[in-house]
Chain A
Amino acid sequence: MRIVIAEDAAVIRAGLTEILTDRGHDIVAAVGDASALLAAVAAHEPDVAIVDVRMPPDHTDEGLRAAIAIRRAHPRVGILVFSQYVETRYAADLLRMRSGGVGYLLKDRVANVAEFDDAITRVAAGGTALDPEVVAGLLTATRHAAALDVLTPREHDVLALMAEGRSNGAIADRFFVSERAVEKHISNIFSKLGLPPSDSDHRRVLAVLAFLGER
């Protein structure tokens, strides 16, 4: 996969490049600020751009704004925003774009190389990758929090993993159950929450996120 990295801390930039190169990806550009990121994305049209939220000059949310700009100008470029903090509001900003191909992870997740690689692959394929912390925030902050009480604990866990953007297969592996069983849980969740049934994995994720994102 062809990847652009935007991260102002040189140690992390170097580390990411090392890990992803090791995994066989092609790092076409590694830059330190938002304007260089926009230029690199325009020049290389990568599969995924990995974007730090806080970058020079103001160290606030330059990366996030650049991500939203890339989304508009280059809709086919997957965007994985990563940060040392997760802000539910940032997640909501990213998800508002709805079309998939976005991720938002804590930087800590990079330490688990296989999972991180998996998240990048999902984002590149037009899926989503949300940090468990973001999902936990969405689950407690949603105005449907009371509605979630009708779910069984297992359904609750499945909902959380689905919101992270995991496939049915990945969820099945996590709980050591069959994919059939997972599908059963998911259809239960949908009917309990009153969500319209949907066939594609990805559309289902978006429906869940839209539901949780309502305030």
Chain B
Amino acid sequence: MTEPAAPPLRRVIEAPFTRRAWAELGHTLASLPLAFGAVAFFVPMLENGIFWAISADVMRWFGAVARFLARELLGEDIPAPSPARPLNLFKVATPDAAAAIRLFEAAQAAGGKARVWESKPGVTVKRLPQERVAELAAEAGIAITAIRPQNAFNSWMGARTLDPVAWRARAYFALKLPLAVVSLNVIAGCWLGGVFFLTFPAWRTLGLNGAFAASLSGSFTFLPLGVVLLLAGPWLTHGLTETDRWLMRGLLGPVSRTERIRALEQSRARAVDDSAARLRGIERDLHDGTQAQLVALAMKLGLAREKLQDAGGVDLARVTQLIEDAHRGALEAITDLRILARGIHPPVLDNGLADALATLANRSAVPVELVTDIPERPSAAIETIAYFSAAELLANVARHSGARHATLEAVHVPGLLRVRVTDDGAGGAHPAPNGGLRGLAERVRTVDGRIGIDSPHGGPTTVTVELPSHA
């Protein structure tokens, strides 16, 4: 539900008093010292390459803080860039030059970078783990005579000296600092100046009117100026903040379009695998459950029919027994089918996530306190994933934690749906291979969501699933 837009004049007048104006003001003030700190830190470090490497991780951290401020204050969710990729430089000696060229081609095809030696047969390979290089060689049928990794220090340096994320963060703060200084002046001029001129007659009376000499009656002519400044302040701040957002999106997010494309490819592959696995699971459940039950049921009824046609007289007790068995089998099949259907898509989800979660909380073996704040419905796929995440987490609470009480929280703010399950159980939850939490994490990642697990031994356990509003 969105409120109808207010008439333009009212929006102009109300601007200084909106949450957005205060958030942007807060962000401008908070990010100024950060920009100062970052620039003061990295400028002396530009001296030489060793310092570039040393400062790289810190620059990444500054970038992360800037993204954090943007998310918390501006609601601007900038995805984090990928972590520094180890260079993984290997020197691989091969028996002859032809083998070196084949290995070079295999390494390039596998997404690494390679260079063939000129003096003796061999290849230098970058950006592929050592096992992968050995694997590639084995696949191509190349005997490796020696494989020697770069030493740890060089590999650490290599990954950081030219770390694009760190360099982009330096560029961002270099641009951000003047922007922040301008913003501060604008804010000071508009907000403080506005208040000053709005109350100018009082200052004049106190003799604190500075350079603005005026008669008492003339002093009231400054009042409109104060109003204009106060009203203009939020709009100017907004414009400057927009510029900052644009810079952050461009310089603090994932490095390149290819990186984003790779991430999307991965999440698409996960989504396809996930749905294939889900379909296979459903087929298995049907095959082993309902289908088998119906076959058994048909057998019983087939036998009962034979008994009824028996020329030697009908054994009523036996036929009754068969039909009773068949009846019981039919009821079991119905129950199983209902559970299975609900596992595919719970009908209550059509009424919205809040209702569905309430049903889930009621059905839980452990008492669950439910808190929902979902003013707007996320898209259907997101609701479904949120529902099954909550179901899986509550099932884990009942199965593993030994908790006496749990809380299920679902909050939807524009752009982000957060589902959180907290319990007072034994803790120690972790995503085991093939475990439910791992499967859940995989499913959440198919829509670029995130899962956070905080479960120290001895408890309490908090698992947070964050999903975008729209898949």
Q: CA A59 – CA B280 in complex, angstroms?
A: 11
Report chain A residues within 8 Å CB of B162: none
Closest to B306 in A: A113
Closest to B322 in A: A18
Give the one of B296, B303, B329 with max A CB within 10 A. Answer: B296
Take A11-B293, A19-B303 as given contacts and tell me if A111 and B298 are in contact as well, using a CB distance cutoff of 8 Å: yes
Closest to B305 in A: A113
Closest to A85 in B: B287
> Which of B287, B293, B298 interacts with A54 by CB under 8 Å?
B287
Closest to A83 in B: B287
Task: Flag whether A191 is at the interface (Cβ < 8 A).
Answer: no
Take A59-B284, A84-B291 as given contacts and tell me if A12 and B303 are in contact as well, using a CB distance cutoff of 8 Å: no
Q: CA A9 – CA B287 in complex, angstroms?
A: 9
Q: CA A108 – CA B287 in complex, angstroms?
A: 13
* A-B CB contacts (within 8 Å), total count: 51
Contacting pair B300 A15 (CB below 8 A): yes
Contacting pair A12 B292 (CB below 8 A): yes
Report chain B residues within 8 Å CB of A12: 292, 295-296, 299
| Chain A contacts with B in 1-32, Cβ cutoff 8 A | 8-9, 11-12, 14-16, 18-19, 22
Task: Flag whether A110 is at the interface (Cβ < 8 A).
Answer: yes
Q: CA A110 – CA B295 in complex, angstroms?
A: 8
Q: CA A7 – CA B288 in complex, angstroms?
A: 11
Task: Flag whether B302 is at the interface (Cβ < 8 A).
Answer: yes
Contacting pair A22 B295 (CB below 8 A): no
Task: Flag whether B411 is at the interface (Cβ < 8 A).
Answer: no
Task: Flag whether A114 is at the interface (Cβ < 8 A).
Answer: yes
Q: CA A84 – CA B298 in complex, angstroms?
A: 13
Task: Flag whether B301 is at the interface (Cβ < 8 A).
Answer: yes
Report chain B residues within 8 Å CB of A15: 295-296, 299-300
Report chain A residues within 8 Å CB of B296: 9, 11-12, 14-15
Contacting pair B295 A107 (CB below 8 A): yes
| Chain A contacts with B in 153-171, Cβ cutoff 8 A | none
The smallest C-beta distance from B14 to any residue of chain A, in angstroms, reads 65
The smallest C-beta distance from A90 to any residue of chain B, in angstroms, reads 15
Report chain A residues within 8 Å CB of B302: 19, 110-113
Take A11-B293, A113-B306, A114-B306 as given contacts and tell me if A19 and B288 are in contact as well, using a CB distance cutoff of 8 Å: no
Closest to B307 in A: A22
Contacting pair B288 A9 (CB below 8 A): yes
Contacting pair B303 A9 (CB below 8 A): no
Report chain B residues within 8 Å CB of A9: 288, 292, 295-296
Q: CA A11 – CA B291 in complex, angstroms?
A: 11
The smallest C-beta distance from B351 to any residue of chain A, in angstroms, reads 36
Report chain B residues within 8 Å CB of A54: 287
Report chain A residues within 8 Å CB of B284: 59
Closest to B329 in A: A11
Contacting pair A111 B292 (CB below 8 A): no
The smallest C-beta distance from B238 to any residue of chain A, in angstroms, reads 61
Give the one of A11, A19, A22, A107 with max B CB within 10 A. Answer: A11
Report chain B residues within 8 Å CB of A11: 292-293, 295-296, 329
Scoring B residues 302 to 316 as 1 if CB is less than 8 Å from chain A, else 0, what string do you get? 110010000000000
Report chain A residues within 8 Å CB of B295: 9, 11-12, 15, 84, 107-108, 110-111
Closest to A18 in B: B303
Report chain B residues within 8 Å CB of A59: 284
Q: CA A15 – CA B294 in complex, angstroms?
A: 11
Closest to A7 in B: B292
Scoring A residues 68 to 105 as 1 if CB is less than 8 Å from chain B, else 0, what string do you get? 00000000000000001000000000000000000000
Q: CA A108 – CA B284 in complex, angstroms?
A: 18
> Which of B288, B301, B303 interacts with A22 by CB under 8 Å?
B303
| Chain B contacts with A in 300-341, Cβ cutoff 8 A | 300-303, 306, 329
Closest to B286 in A: A84
Report chain B residues within 8 Å CB of A113: 299, 302-303, 306
> Which of B288, B298, B300, B329 interacts with A108 by CB under 8 Å?
B298
Q: CA A184 – CA B167 in complex, angstroms?
A: 90
Q: CA A19 – CA B302 in complex, angstroms?
A: 9
Q: CA A114 – CA B284 in complex, angstroms?
A: 30
Report chain B residues within 8 Å CB of A8: 288
Take A11-B329, A59-B284, A114-B306 as given contacts and tell me if A16 and B299 are in contact as well, using a CB distance cutoff of 8 Å: yes
Q: CA A59 – CA B292 in complex, angstroms?
A: 14
Report chain A residues within 8 Å CB of B291: 84
| Chain B contacts with A in 188-208, Cβ cutoff 8 A | none
Report chain B residues within 8 Å CB of A112: 302
Q: CA A59 – CA B285 in complex, angstroms?
A: 12
Report chain B residues within 8 Å CB of A14: 296
Closest to B294 in A: A108
Report chain B residues within 8 Å CB of A18: 299-300, 303
Give the one of A9, A14, A19, A54 with max B CB within 10 A. Answer: A9
Give the one of B291, B302, B329 with max A CB within 10 A. Answer: B302
Closest to A52 in B: B292
Q: CA A18 – CA B306 in complex, angstroms?
A: 13
Chain A positions near chain B (C-beta within 8 angstroms): 8-9, 11-12, 14-16, 18-19, 22, 54, 59, 84, 107-108, 110-114
30 CB-based A-B contacts, threshold 8 Å: A8-B288, A9-B288, A9-B296, A11-B295, A11-B296, A11-B329, A12-B292, A12-B295, A12-B299, A14-B296, A15-B295, A15-B296, A15-B299, A15-B300, A18-B299, A18-B300, A18-B303, A19-B303, A84-B292, A84-B295, A110-B298, A110-B302, A111-B295, A111-B298, A111-B301, A112-B302, A113-B299, A113-B302, A113-B303, A114-B306
9 further interface pairs, Cβ-Cβ under 8 Å (given A12-B292, A111-B295, A113-B303): A8-B288, A9-B288, A11-B292, A14-B296, A19-B302, A19-B303, A54-B287, A108-B298, A111-B299
Chain B positions near chain A (C-beta within 8 angstroms): 284, 287-288, 291-293, 295-296, 298-303, 306, 329
Which 7 A-B residue pairs are closest in the complex by CB-CB distance? A111-B298, A9-B292, A11-B296, A111-B302, A15-B299, A15-B296, A107-B295
